[in-house]
Chain A
Amino acid sequence: EPEVTQTPSHQVTQMGQEVILRCVPISNHLYFYWYRQILGQKVEFLVSFYNNEISEKSEIFDDQFSVERPDGSNFTLKIRSTKLEDSAMYFCASDRGNEQYFGPGTRLTVT
């Protein structure tokens, strides 16, 4: 069964550093998403990506965040200058306009 994959599974970084989180969505899916989940809190939408551009973003997704689909398979989330409050699980998801499937997540720890 096809699945969304994410790397790395855990990333530790120092405040102010840049991080790139990587995702490979399911191959025939058209819509791609990033969500985050701070420990003990609910899953929150960050951004959606369709037809090679951002289609929607939340107020969390400020200028420190960017997304890219550099080739036909990868989908990345970049945080330019990490803050302590960016520590969270980051989930990538994809769909074809129906049911949405999530990757296993990257645990980002900012120290």
Chain B
Amino acid sequence: ETGVTQSPTHLIKTRGQQVTLRCSSQSGHNTVSWYQQALGQGPQFIFQYYREEENGRGNFPPRFSGLQFPNYSSELNVNALELDDSALYLCASSPGLGTDTQYFGPGTRLTVL
């Protein structure tokens, strides 16, 4: 176990709705990265937060946003859901900014109908 937890495990939403996914990092891990993994694909980088500030973003529209809190928890918010947003959403925490020590959570499976 990586010590990274995510909630909920599964979620079903309809097109146009908004969703909030949650991640709890390991204590002391100041960096959290979020990835989207569509079925049959590898994870794609959404964005990264370091000490509560966004410090890097992938090719995702602004309706994907996030927050990181001082208690090592974080959120991924997606507005105006589209069918293509159906995927497994993974968070990964790390003590610093390097990618060699990212620990992934089990993911949240989002289905958009």
Q: Do A and B come from one complex?
A: no
